Amino acid sequence: MAQTEAGKVTLARDLGLFDATMIGVGAMIGAGIFVLTGIAAGEAGPASILAFALNGLVTLLTAFAYAELASAIPRAGGGYSYVRLAFPGPLGFTAGWMLWFAYTVACSLYALGFAGYFWEFFLKYIPGLAEGVFGVVGEHAAVLLVTVLIVFLFIRLNVRGAEVTGQAENVLTVAKIIVLAVFIFYGLKKLLADPGQASANFQPFFPLGTGGVLVAMGLTFIAFEGYDLIATVAEEIKDPERNIPRATFIALALTVTIYLLILFVSLGAVTVVGETTWQFLGKYKETAIVRAAEDFMPAFGVAVIVFGGLLSTMSALNATVMAASRVAFSMGRDNWLPRQVAEIDRRRRTPRTAILITGVILLGMALTLPIEAVGSAASLIFLLTFALVNLSVIVLRRKYPEIKRRYRVPLYPVVPVLGIVLNVFLALYQFKFQPIAWYVTAGWILVGLLLYFSYFEKQAAPEMPQVLVPGRAVVPAPAYTVLVPAYNPDTLDTLLDLATPIARAHNGRIVTLAVVEVPRQLPIHEGMRFAHHKDRLFRQAREYAVEHRIPLDTDLVIAHHVHDGILDAARRLDADLMVMGWKGYTNTRERVFGEVADQIIRHAPCDLMLFRADGRSLQRVLFPSAGGTHARLAAEFLGLLAHERRMKVTVVYVVSPDATTEERTEAEHWVDKTVARFGEPLDVERRLIEARTVAGGIALASKDFDLVVLGAAREPLFQKMLFGDIPEKVARHSPVSVLVVKRYEGRVRSLLKRLLG
């Protein structure tokens, strides 16, 4: 791993068990269940339920393999990384080459599915417009037109760097589950109302024989692809040894259950005349769920399902465009594709070339192949890739027995061998009913191997891929750690000036932290390419430490969000205090201090000092006297700063112009009580300020000082407020530098935990 002046680099793990599970569920419950339900019913009849159940079983075997590999070797890239590690030659190249194509073909399926649901919406609610378009260009051309437009949209979004946050992805996934739950509810309600008719819909169970089940399995296997995306973000998952296996199996169990219920109600609850239910569903193919919803759901239900289909196909298309381009990008980085494919756009920091090439291929597939062939080709390649992943478990057990495997495949080697056999069997069987999928796949593999042996084999890096298991550096924790997130060289010395007296008084150390932010379109470890940009900050911090004779370490974190990197470092280093700069207030309602500062204020696992500088030297300090734990901590810190920096402190208390003598006496008592908290005697001025509002009085008085120090309020008045009404108003309107102090409420629990080990 590359090194910078930081000495070590940490990849921020900001995805918990729920986030990792939602990645798998969101990818699996995508367009597949909406697009393939009718296709599966048309090929196997009621036995399509069995086909989905068996696919779930086959998928489970490979999930065991992914769980072991991803937890033992939590590196980005997923199946391609593991196969390349096990087979660094042409087989490893072929795995990446196939996986790139598989994701790209899946994109084609989702784009076609979106077009189908798009026109279904207009046929249902604005039939005149849809029929008019069909009359001019034809139904097939209209579908292809929407397919092209949606592909261009998401290719452009990926190139520009548009991203959906983890929280938004979670909300989107939960929304899709709710849509399907509503569909299942009304279907079960119809089934219970007429169980006799429902039972008849499942007779005969094998109208097309067992061969139909195998055909349906091959066509729909792509619907079970997605849990493997958990492995592609393995470097970003907290406690990967535990959370990756758990997230994988939870996602698979939840998804298979939903799939089986969807098929069960679709086949059992629909009532049609003149044909069987499965024939009815098979006739409408990718829009079969909409037809089923028309039969047993209220009018609004159809709109919900159509909206769910559009939502799912769009989210799946966006995710797979990113996944496909990420595989191509990784292969370019490994010199198994032209180096230009691994280039990152300097302004957008996205793999622009990889995304554009992926877009061209997926458009070619979507415009030239029928949707059955597209689904079958994607399923075929995933089957072959999953067989290689199972084989990699066996090879890596033998090649790297020293790797610690916290999770191990049960019944080894029976489970991976069975996974290989079943995946290969289903792949070979597809030739019987969809030979074009095999022709396309074989042609793609042949082209790849020709390119590999003629060019890429010579260009590829000769060294063996390293087995790197990112972990936490174990650093002996001193008595006290002050974390200083650094971004701007112009304010770094000032932040260190604030941190140094406190660290020295506690016989502690300072850790200067820099965060490299990586767009979601890139694997997190690609931030190593930009790590050297932080060297200037670290040099400046070290020079300061030498000059002021203070213990100082540096820490570099690579994260998808700056605030995640800072919070991750604070927890990992067990920081006692964080001293952080703040640019100023934002003008948006959603953000008070700014996206990064807001998250830090809410979630910092330590005491916090937030500083806004105005450039002047910090000699004259205004400290409003107030009660509360935050103000007491502010007084403690200010006492240390004032002693070392020889600051002149003025302690004030705001009283009303109409205050009585008793009220003024009580105010003077608060001032004396605050001064007593400074510790050693200071040259402190005491003053009462007359003003109608506390915040207004402090802000007006601050113009005669260099710095205002405030403690956060004990109870913020509104949930949106982070420090409380008065501190935030003063911080917003004061014309000088402002320092706000907030005590970590869990500090007592943290200290007890540290003492008890």
Q: What's the CATH code of the domain at 544?
A: 3.40.50.620
Residue bearing the bigger pLDDT, 380 or 683: 380
pLDDT recorded at residue 614: 79
pLDDT recorded at residue 700: 86
User: Are 702 and 606 members of one domain?
Assistant: no
- Of the CA atoms within 13 Å of residue 431, those in its CB half-sphere come to 8
User: pLDDT tens digits for 728-742?
Assistant: 777 777 888 889 898
Q: Which of 34-43, 73-82, 338-347, 352-361 has the lowest mean pLDDT?
A: 73-82
The percent of residues above 70 in pLDDT, for the chain, comes to 84
User: Are 67 and 154 members of one domain?
Assistant: yes
- Within a 10 A sphere around the Cβ of 674, how many other Cβ atoms? 26
By the 10 Å C-beta count (0-12 exposed, 13-18 middle, 19+ buried), 548 is classed as middle
Q: In this structure, are residues 24 and 227 in contact, taking their beta carbons and an 8 Å threshold?
A: yes
Q: Are strands 607-612 and 620-624 parallel, antiparallel or unpaired?
A: unpaired
Residue 684: alpha-carbon gap to chain centroid: 50
Owner of token pair 């790197």: 468
Distance CA 131, CA 574 (A): 65
User: pLDDT tens digits for 156-197?
Assistant: 777 765 444 345 556 667 787 888 888 889 889 888 888 888
Residue bearing the bigger pLDDT, 682 or 706: 706
pLDDT recorded at residue 628: 76
Total structural domains within the chain: 3
User: Are 268 and 202 members of one domain?
Assistant: yes
pLDDT recorded at residue 711: 84
Distance CA 703, CA 552 (A): 35
* Sequence-ordered list of residues with C-beta below 8 angstroms from that of 739, at least 6 positions apart, any chain: 498, 609, 610, 611, 612, 634, 707, 708, 709, 710
> Which band of pLDDT confidence, cut at 50, 70 and 90, is reported for residue 518?
confident
User: pLDDT tens digits for 423-452?
Assistant: 898 888 878 777 888 888 888 889 989 988
* Sequence-ordered list of residues with C-beta below 8 angstroms from that of 714, at least 6 positions apart, any chain: 627, 628, 629, 630, 724
User: pLDDT tens digits for 206-231?
Assistant: 988 888 888 888 778 777 877 777 77
- Of the CA atoms within 13 Å of residue 20, those in its CB half-sphere come to 30
- Of the CA atoms within 13 Å of residue 519, those in its CB half-sphere come to 20
Q: Is residue 654 part of a domain?
A: yes
Residue bearing the bigger pLDDT, 153 or 30: 153
Whether residue 350 is predicted with pLDDT greater than 60 in this model: the reply is: yes
Q: Which of 364-373, 605-614, 637-646 has the lowest mean pLDDT?
A: 364-373
User: Are 608 and 636 members of one domain?
Assistant: no
Helices (H), 126-165: 127-137, 139-160
User: Are 606 and 620 members of one domain?
Assistant: no
pLDDT recorded at residue 421: 94
pLDDT recorded at residue 592: 45
> Among residues 612, 640, 675, which one ends one of the domains?
612
User: Are 592 and 646 members of one domain?
Assistant: no
Q: Which of 85-94, 402-411, 723-732, 745-754 has the lowest mean pLDDT?
A: 745-754
Residue whose C-alpha is closest to residue 440's, from 372, 487, 507, 496: 372
pLDDT recorded at residue 469: 42
- Of the CA atoms within 13 Å of residue 754, those in its CB half-sphere come to 16
pLDDT recorded at residue 589: 43
What CATH number is attached to the domain comprising 400?
A: 1.20.1740.10
* Token pair in block for residue 340: 């230009």
Mean pLDDT, to the nearest integer, of 696-702? 85
> Which band of pLDDT confidence, cut at 50, 70 and 90, is reported for residue 76?
low
pLDDT recorded at residue 128: 81
Q: Are strands 607-612 and 737-742 parallel, antiparallel or unpaired?
A: antiparallel
Q: In this structure, are residues 314 and 323 in contact, taking their beta carbons and an 8 Å threshold?
A: no
- Within a 10 A sphere around the Cβ of 663, how many other Cβ atoms? 13
CA distances from 127 to 63, 124, 135, 144, 726 (A): 44, 6, 12, 19, 58
Residue bearing the bigger pLDDT, 277 or 370: 277
pLDDT recorded at residue 577: 95
Q: Is residue 385 part of a domain?
A: yes
> Among residues 612, 632, 654, which one ends one of the domains?
612
pLDDT recorded at residue 710: 87
pLDDT recorded at residue 579: 94
User: Are 566 and 626 members of one domain?
Assistant: no
User: pLDDT tens digits for 571-618?
Assistant: 888 899 999 987 755 444 444 455 677 788 888 899 999 898 877 788
Mean pLDDT, to the nearest integer, of 11-32? 75
User: Are 525 and 548 members of one domain?
Assistant: yes
Q: What angle do CA 337, 350, 310 make, to 5 degrees?
A: 100
User: Are 110 and 257 members of one domain?
Assistant: yes
User: Are 430 and 536 members of one domain?
Assistant: no
Element spanning 361, H or E: helix 352-368
Distance CA 649, CA 638 (A): 9
Helices 435-451 and 90-125: crossing angle in degrees, nearest 10, is: 140
Sign of CA dihedral 713, 714, 716, 722: positive
Per the omega criterion (within 30 degrees of 0), is the bond before 204 cis? yes
Per the omega criterion (within 30 degrees of 0), is the bond before 46 cis? no
pLDDT recorded at residue 485: 93
Whether residue 715 is predicted with pLDDT greater than 60 in this model: the reply is: no
> Which band of pLDDT confidence, cut at 50, 70 and 90, is reported for residue 351?
confident
Q: Is residue 466 part of a domain?
A: no
Distance CA 40, CA 212 (A): 9
Whether residue 372 is predicted with pLDDT greater than 80 in this model: the reply is: no
pLDDT recorded at residue 713: 73
Residue bearing the bigger pLDDT, 52 or 370: 52
pLDDT recorded at residue 498: 93
CA distances from 748 to 482, 576, 744, 754 (A): 17, 11, 9, 10
User: pLDDT tens digits for 659-668?
Assistant: 888 888 888 8
pLDDT recorded at residue 155: 81
Residue 549: which domain range?
Answer: 477-612
Element spanning 637, H or E: helix 629-645
Q: Which of 58-67, 220-229, 339-348, 377-386 has the lowest mean pLDDT?
A: 339-348
The whole-chain average pLDDT of the chain stands at 79
User: Are 491 and 453 members of one domain?
Assistant: no
pLDDT recorded at residue 75: 63
> Which band of pLDDT confidence, cut at 50, 70 and 90, is reported for residue 4?
very low
CA dihedral 485, 491, 492, 495 (to 10 degrees): -70
pLDDT recorded at residue 467: 45
Distance CA 194, CA 201 (A): 11
Confidence (pTM): 0.68
Reported in sequence order, the residue ranges of 261-328 that DSSP labels E, i.e. its strands, are: none
User: Are 560 and 653 members of one domain?
Assistant: no
Q: Is residue 472 part of a domain?
A: no
* Token pair in block for residue 333: 């980085």
Whether residue 333 is predicted with pLDDT greater than 80 in this model: the reply is: no
> Among residues 427, 459, 491, which one ends one of the domains?
459
Q: Is residue 333 part of a domain?
A: yes
Q: Is residue 668 part of a domain?
A: yes
Distance CA 58, CA 755 (A): 49
Mean pLDDT, to the nearest integer, of 615-634? 83
Q: Which of 180-184, 417-421, 525-529 has the lowest mean pLDDT?
A: 525-529
Q: Is residue 465 part of a domain?
A: no
Q: Is residue 482 part of a domain?
A: yes
pLDDT recorded at residue 588: 44
Give, as one character, the DSSP assignment of residue 205. Answer: S
pLDDT recorded at residue 503: 92
Residues in the chain, overall count: 757
